[in-house]
Structure 1
């Protein structure tokens, strides 16, 4: 017993908390995932073989990894790349270009990013190219050291692949797949997407150059596995310097995951998104509450973090509206109820608001029409309402058709939480029809 005690090192609580923050923040911020995906051996083997043929033998390929969010598409690709780059020959030669449809929103931005990642800014310099294809071919030619056998293979990874299909003429996809099909440079194009109908989005000329290889993944994650992963994400490793603190921390995490209120929060999170990126955002908020005075994560911390993550941005905007703007939102709600969601205009909203004033005989809400119009415009700027057809410029502003971008529940919640909301306004909002 004394020997084991002698081996244990005890650190001040402040240093332990600093270490906890450092370890877990690194885990959440770098989106650390399991090194090897389970139950994906055949997909792993298939993808590894494809990429090895490009990296080692100079054979061009294209493949799509298709599956729902949190199915493990990125994890599968990363594990294959990790295994592939362990081979020295591959490590020296293989070039990688990572593009994301959410970031590279058009082909010009994508080409700029390809140039940056291949470190060819100096080679391109001030050169002017006639077309996208010429520019891309020039970039790939610049990588060559001699004949095809000595050309460095390039791996293009296109995350959110379906968004690239919305680029004008699908120029980027066409040229990448065209290069991968021709004998110019060894290129592998790997697309990651959630869309099962992705091939239907591709133009005929793009589809004809795609190999039609698809690797499908299905999410086998259930809530019990999800709970286990939450516990694993929050637990400290065996290598933690203070073993006693690590034991106590891991024990508190185990207790936390068994709490009924916490299970309810995590069940809602699981139902809304099984993606570990959103889970890491939630756990990061919990971790920010850990201090010397509060050296473990409590159920209340998780509940508060969940309410912040799940907060409805539009409902929060409603809390900051003026009484007039809130009245206009209620008038729109009643118009939606009466006319079954049909669009409305400012004049209709103003008439509905006047009906409320006549019933209540309250001069306190008696605003002139220009003031009401200004409030209406402010609601449009906040994007709580939007024009049905923004191209219609000739229509007078008060007769332009609009749609309410809020649902019934958001308005009801705002009325309940609105600070010092007048009783008659609340009652008007709660009533079935205006």
Structure 2
């Protein structure tokens, strides 16, 4: 029995580095998830458009529009994987990827197109009178001896940024070629701007097909759990087959545990996109070690707490006791005056009343020191002026507290060595 356990332990130690490599690659966007959920009609539309271009030489253009993280890239990659499953299509289809964040003008974009189509030597030192002439020459160079052209897919990520190029020359020429019968090309734009069509010039609009594929995540919770299991499962090509089966079975069982389901439901209701799920899974995967060789529900709970951490409550853990006292004084005054703004003099008087009570061990600071602490709270954006930016004497400037009672209570519970008097003062009822 002992011998069997040691063999199992040895297998885990040997497999763990490979498990982490595979899962980290998935979570760091090195490999795009291609299993599409809840986007069947959009996928069929895009797949039909791509097949017409590859098999029939039909040029076209389309925009895939959706919020960040909704699955635009995943949808396109899924379609391309299916199209390229045909050997002839895979060999013939040329793909050019451009990004509006990188190709900031048409000259840079043209250089990138030349590089990706491997036509640097063909272009050489030739000089052309216009962008259109250069692009036409490049596409002409791709024609074979029988004058047929290979279909080309242009993927324009951050499409809306290309609309800011001078005269929108790149977009105009690509859309113009997609309407001609000479070269079969498909232009697919990916963007998160719903009003992107309004950014296009009239001449560009006239050459665009006006096909728009809108992406909105409609994942059910059961499908969301399936994605969770799929991301964490090992592929069938994993070298140790027995270990792979045990790992995948454990992940499936883990997805049904009550604690895991509760954490996943909270994440699903706040942000159901796959990118957020991958960010959530990164910490549990990174925690895998020889001493912690399996994922546990507590890992997911810890990751959820990191993701949902209140930034202002976290900042309160780092302020001084004096600054904490000023925040409590301001909270008490805000309650007393029904949410009206208060100034430093009012807060200082409340602080003085507190530290001068009998039996307190809280140090009493001089007014300039307290004012400096008050200004530091404003610099941390825990307070803000309520006078709309008007200039007034800083001691009498009305201020609004930007943290609520729940955040203050949470900070006091976790504050290291917080004086008991301060905690008790925070819980005291406010009287006029």
Normalised by the size of structure 1, how large is the TM-score? Answer: 0.72
Instruction: Give, in angstroms, the shift of residue 322 of structure 1.
Output: 0.3
- Give the drift of 1:238: 2.5
Residue-by-residue CA offset, 1:365-410 (whole Å, 9 max, x unaligned) = 53333323322332233333345688x4754444555544433322
The 2-side partners of 1:333 and 1:119 are apart by: 63
1:14 aligned partner: 13
1:4-62 residue CA offsets vs partner (Å, 9 max, x unmatched): xxxxx996432111121122112222264543525644422422454577788585634
CA gap of 1:264–1:384, structure 2 versus 1, over 3 A, is same
Q: Distance in 1 between matches of 2:99 and 2:82?
A: 18
Q: Does 1:421 align with 2:418?
A: yes
Unaligned 5+ segments in structure 2 are 1-7, 116-128, 144-150
Distance 2:287 2:279 in 1: 13
Q: CA deviation at 1:269?
A: 1.6
Name the Cα RMSD after superposition.
4.3
Quickly say closer, same or farther: Cα 1:84–1:13, change in 2 above 3 A.
closer
Counterpart residue number, 2:364: 366
Once residues 394 and 108 of structure 2 are traced to their aligned partners in structure 1, the CA distance between those partners, rounded to angstroms, is 43
User: In the alignment, is the contact (CA less than 8 A) between 2:217 and 2:272 conserved in 1?
Assistant: no
Q: 1:138 to 1:95 in 2, by over 3 A?
A: farther
Larger Rg: 2
Q: Counterparts of 1:111 and 1:396 in 2: how far apart (Å)?
A: 54
Q: Which residue of 2 aligns with 1:355?
A: 350
Distance in 2 (alpha carbons) for counterparts of 1:399 and 1:140: 65
The Cα of 1:321 is off from its aligned counterpart by 0.4
Q: Which residue pairs with 1:74 in the alignment?
A: 73
Deviation at 1:414, TM superposition (A): 0.8
Q: Quote the offset at 1:328 in angstroms.
A: 2.4
- Look up the match of 2:250: 252
Distance 1:187 1:20, change over 3 A: closer
Q: Report the number of matched residues.
A: 392
2:329 to 328, 331, 335: 331
- The offset of 1:313, in angstroms, is 2.5
Is the 1:58–1:153 contact (alpha carbons within 8 Å) kept by the matching residues of 2? no
- Pair 404,80 (structure 1): closer, same or farther in 2 beyond 3 Å: farther
Is the contact between residue 11 and residue 242 of structure 1 (CA under 8 Å) also seen in structure 2? no
1:180-191 map, 5 Å: 182=176, 188=187, 190-191=189-190
1:186-335 aligned within 5 A: 188=187, 190-193=189-192, 198-199=194-195, 202=198, 212-335=210-333
Residue 63 of structure 1, CA deviation:
2.0
For 1:374 and 1:430, locate their aligned partners in 2 and report how far apart those are by CA, in whole Å.
26
Task: Return 314-323 or 405-414, whichever deviates more.
Answer: 405-414
How far apart in 2 are the matches of 1:403 and 1:140?
58
1:412 aligns with 2:420: no
TM-score normalised to the size of structure 2?
A: 0.73
SS class of match (1:325): helix
